[in-house]
Chain A
Amino acid sequence: MKMTPRAVVIGSLLILAAVVFVVIYIPYVTRTQTASAIFRRRTPTEAAGRKLYIANGCVYCHSQSVRSIDWGLGAERIAQAGDYVGDQPILLGSQRTGPDLSQEGGAHPNDWHRAHFVNPRTTRPNSIMPAFEFIGPENIKHLTAYVQSLGMKNAGRRMQRQKHWKAKAVEAYEAGPDANAHWLAENIPFGWRKIANPYPSTVAGLARGHKIYQDFCLGCHGPVGDGMGPGQPDLYPPPLNFTILKNRGISGGILYYQIMNGITGTAMPYFKRELESEKIWDVSNYVAVYFINQSDANHAPRGIDTAYEP
């Protein structure tokens, strides 16, 4: 074959055209156009938030694509092609420097997002996300609306739950410490209320609790557990002041349950995906010993001794 200029230019363009026909055009004409069951259109505010999401390059660190292999990261809803039919451009992302956001809507109330956008390290002390205070409070609202829409109809259901419990949480907080402590205790399953911390209170266990507290809790509840962490000004009801809980019937089981599942309606997130069981008991006991000054570890009956204890 003689490599003439014509052969090179026309030949390579023809090959490209053939490849584009197969790998671009055919997938395009046979694409999924049916919306999935959870699909809904975005509101104008959510669409404005999506523009901000694009303008500030959120897509470079956050994927919007839950894979079948993401079993530990929240694969309750694996992405379907019909989830994306309204996305132009699509924002699948290519990096997970931060968590996947495709089902983020309704996982937190709006005030958590406000605090988090103003400075992510207030709600998440180890976060490496930039602060977005510079976009201004109005834009933070739009961006929050967009993030709260992720997950579409599923997110809508979760947002309803947030709204429902937000009203109750505010009511309980405003009724004073006694009522608040009572509300926090009474709204968990009965069995949990009676459980004492099953682990003995040890120096090592408290050290683990201390480290976990620093990595997960300090931004809102503050270094001395009084609820005056840097996230406090943006959150309502404000982060719980642990020091009011003494003699108010807060068992290890109540602390454990609330840390595991979070308190819907408040900025308190769930930690069940990030902390294994023992770590939750450790941080509960750390809070009980240092901030409440009243721990039921070592006190209540513990059943059979754990297989390993120092």
Chain B
Amino acid sequence: MTTPDENSSPGYATARAFCITSACWMVIGAFVGLLGATELIAPDIAKNIGWLVFGRIRPIHINVVLFGFVTPGLLAAAFYYFPRLLRCELFSEKLGVFTVWVWNLTLVAAVISLAGGHTQGREYAELIWPIDVMVVAAFGLVFFNMVMTVRRRTEPLLYVSIWYGLAATILTAAVYALGNVIWRPDSGALAGMADAVILWFYGHSIFNLLLTPLAAGIAYYVIPRVVLSPLYSHRLAMLGFWSLMLVAPQIGTSHLLQVPLPTWLKVIAIADSIAMAIPVMAFLINIWYTAKGRLGEIHADIGAKFVFTGTIMYFFASLQGAVMALPQVQRVTHFNNWVVGHAHIGVLGFAGMIALGGMYYILPRITGKQLYSRLLADFQYWMVLIGVVGFTVVLTIAGMTQGNAWLNGHAVYRVLPMVHVYYIVRAALGLMLFTSAIVGLYNILRTLLSNPGGTP
């Protein structure tokens, strides 16, 4: 398969708007995360301010990072590569910009409602029904724009990134509606253990059917273009795509291995967690062999550098995920900070890195000017890299400490002082990431709005 071709650049208003959205919400998401981390070491820091209590801060952090920072960052690049790969203009930039407004309105409503304690209390599926509907509508609008663009294409072949973009948006709309039990507006939940099953099916699918395909789509676009080389294998890309579609939605129950559920359901989750090696390695081998011997080009392009680092993080997140799904390992890793570390390497290290990479890749190309500051982008790269690696290290240590202590009969209360120091390091790393988010926002805003730089 050949690399996608360049053609004349339209305005990319949607991609721009998603860039600004992502950069702004990254600042908010990182700040809220930092606040939550601080509350774990200084629990009275926001004492008796109800909307800042940890239990409300945590879902705000998760929802803002997932739907405010990472997804819009990934969609920004998608709204750039769709028209280019299909050799046509986007179906509607107006609709795209409207979607971004809906998106931001949804996020604001989400933050306000969660801060006010209006939640359905289900992890990753907290948002109340009216906001659920807005989220599904937003994904529907994105999908509609994408599919209509596909219909007016002049390029007959669909490149891999297009598959991933289409699948991610339509599947997320479906999975989101299903996982939030959208047909029950009052509770947004099923009763009993069935609720846990559908919840973790959804929670894991948000990563595997939204972030992973969108991030993979960017990697499949950016890496071949930057190294000026055709994709290593079309066949491998198909294997990676279809195996992801099949395997990924089956592993949610790996969160529920230690609760009373039928064993066959757990076996499916464990077997498929191991089977994730197929889509993961098909994708990574394809990307890495495409880039083989051309790492200099990747290093020279800050966007590609973020994206390529993201693929390496994906390797570690997936390896860790497969190991965590083994029941013997989960005896130690379940219910503690190990899982939090895993979430950070996946969402920030992989999807977040690639979202930033996608934005830094497209920004010079949609503005026709150099990035406002390559230095600041590099600074952000290192802050995010050190931050996410640091998170994973300290949270894994903290998690192993907790898990092993519990397994050896120590009460939760006695283990708190043992992990205190890791909570402090985690908050310090959070401060670093918050700083990097501000730097990124400044760089992206200057690049888009007030850029004196020359042509790239």
Which A residues touch B44, using CB under 8 A?
A: 119, 121, 130-131
1/0 contact string of A9-35 vs chain B (CB within 8 Å): 101110110011011100110111100
Say yes or no: is B331 at the interface (Cβ < 8 Å to chain A): yes
* Docked pose: A164 CA to B445 CA in angstroms: 67
B contact patch SS: helix
Say yes or no: is A307 at the interface (Cβ < 8 Å to chain B): no
Which A residues touch B48, using CB under 8 A?
A: 131, 133-134
Which A residues touch B185, using CB under 8 A?
A: none
Q: Are B260 and A80 in touch, CB under 8 angstroms? A: yes
Say yes or no: is A98 at the interface (Cβ < 8 Å to chain B): yes
Q: Are A94 and B123 in touch, CB under 8 angstroms? A: yes
Task: Output the least CB separation between B129 and chain A (Å).
Answer: 13
* Docked pose: A1 CA to B261 CA in angstroms: 38
Q: Are A70 and B406 in touch, CB under 8 angstroms? A: yes
Residue from A16, A23, A63 within 8 A of B265 (CB atoms): A23
Say yes or no: is B55 at the interface (Cβ < 8 Å to chain A): yes
Q: Are B55 and A96 in touch, CB under 8 angstroms? A: no
Residue from B54, B122, B269, B336 within 8 A of A89 (CB atoms): B122
Say yes or no: is A57 at the interface (Cβ < 8 Å to chain B): yes
Say yes or no: is A54 at the interface (Cβ < 8 Å to chain B): yes
1/0 contact string of A57-84 vs chain B (CB within 8 Å): 1111101010111111100000111001
Closest to A26 in B: B265
Q: Are B55 and A65 in touch, CB under 8 angstroms? A: no
Q: Are A95 and B59 in touch, CB under 8 angstroms? A: no
Interface centre among A22, A90, A127, A273 (most CB of B within 10 A): A90
Q: Are A73 and B411 in touch, CB under 8 angstroms? A: yes
Residue from B39, B54, B187, B413 within 8 A of A99 (CB atoms): B413
Say yes or no: is B329 at the interface (Cβ < 8 Å to chain A): no
Which A residues touch B59, using CB under 8 A?
A: 57, 60
Say yes or no: is B416 at the interface (Cβ < 8 Å to chain A): yes
Say yes or no: is B426 at the interface (Cβ < 8 Å to chain A): no
Which B residues touch A72, using CB under 8 A?
A: 406-411
Q: Are A61 and B55 in touch, CB under 8 angstroms? A: yes
1/0 contact string of B27-53 vs chain A (CB within 8 Å): 000000000000111011011111001
* Docked pose: A181 CA to B261 CA in angstroms: 50
Say yes or no: is A274 at the interface (Cβ < 8 Å to chain B): yes
Q: Are A127 and B416 in touch, CB under 8 angstroms? A: yes
Q: Are B117 and A129 in touch, CB under 8 angstroms? A: no
Closest to A15 in B: B245
- For window 85-101 of A, CB contacts with B under 8 Å fall at 85-100
Which B residues touch A277, using CB under 8 A?
A: none
Task: Output the least CB separation between A187 and chain B (Å).
Answer: 26
Residue from B171, B199, B259 within 8 A of A13 (CB atoms): B171
Q: How many residues of B contact A (CB 8 A)?
A: 89
1/0 contact string of A151-168 vs chain B (CB within 8 Å): 000000000000000000
1/0 contact string of B149-170 vs chain A (CB within 8 Å): 0110000001000110011001
Closest to A58 in B: B55
* Given A23-B201, A133-B48, also A89-B188 (CB < 8 A): yes
Q: Are A13 and B170 in touch, CB under 8 angstroms? A: yes
* Docked pose: A100 CA to B259 CA in angstroms: 14
Q: Of the listed stretches B87-95, B250-258, B309-317, name the one at the interface; the rest are far from the partner chain.
A: B250-258
Q: Are A12 and B167 in touch, CB under 8 angstroms? A: yes
Say yes or no: is B58 at the interface (Cβ < 8 Å to chain A): yes
Q: Are A13 and B260 in touch, CB under 8 angstroms? A: no
Say yes or no: is A175 at the interface (Cβ < 8 Å to chain B): no
In this complex, the interface size class of chain A, counting residues with CB under 8 Å from chain B, is 35 or more
Say yes or no: is A203 at the interface (Cβ < 8 Å to chain B): no
Q: Of the listed stretches B13-21, B73-81, B190-198, B297-305, name the one at the interface; the rest are far from the partner chain.
A: B190-198
Say yes or no: is B134 at the interface (Cβ < 8 Å to chain A): no
* Docked pose: A72 CA to B255 CA in angstroms: 22
Residue from B47, B195, B331, B417 within 8 A of A90 (CB atoms): B195
Say yes or no: is B412 at the interface (Cβ < 8 Å to chain A): yes
* Docked pose: A58 CA to B58 CA in angstroms: 11
* Docked pose: A86 CA to B190 CA in angstroms: 10
1/0 contact string of B114-141 vs chain A (CB within 8 Å): 0001111111000000000000000000
Say yes or no: is B383 at the interface (Cβ < 8 Å to chain A): no
Interface centre among A23, A79, A274 (most CB of B within 10 A): A23
* Given A23-B197, A130-B53, A134-B48, also A96-B192 (CB < 8 A): no
Say yes or no: is B432 at the interface (Cβ < 8 Å to chain A): no
* Given A63-B335, A65-B258, also A89-B406 (CB < 8 A): no
* Given A61-B54, A128-B43, A274-B413, also A84-B252 (CB < 8 A): no
* Docked pose: A24 CA to B182 CA in angstroms: 15
* Docked pose: A68 CA to B261 CA in angstroms: 13
* Docked pose: A241 CA to B143 CA in angstroms: 69
Q: Are A24 and B121 in touch, CB under 8 angstroms? A: no
Task: Output the least CB separation between B167 and chain A (Å).
Answer: 4
Say yes or no: is B429 at the interface (Cβ < 8 Å to chain A): no
Additional pairs, 7, CB under 8 Å, beyond known A70-B406, A85-B192 = A8-B163, A12-B166, A13-B171, A55-B121, A81-B192, A91-B121, A128-B43
Closest 5 CB pairs of A and B: A57-B55, A72-B409, A54-B121, A89-B189, A55-B117
Interface residues of chain B, those whose CB is within 8 Å of chain A, are 39-41, 43-44, 46-50, 53-59, 117-123, 147, 150-151, 158, 162-163, 166-167, 170-171, 174-175, 178, 187-199, 201, 209, 238, 242, 245-246, 249-250, 252-253, 255-256, 258-262, 265, 268-269, 331, 334-337, 339-340, 402, 406-414, 416-417
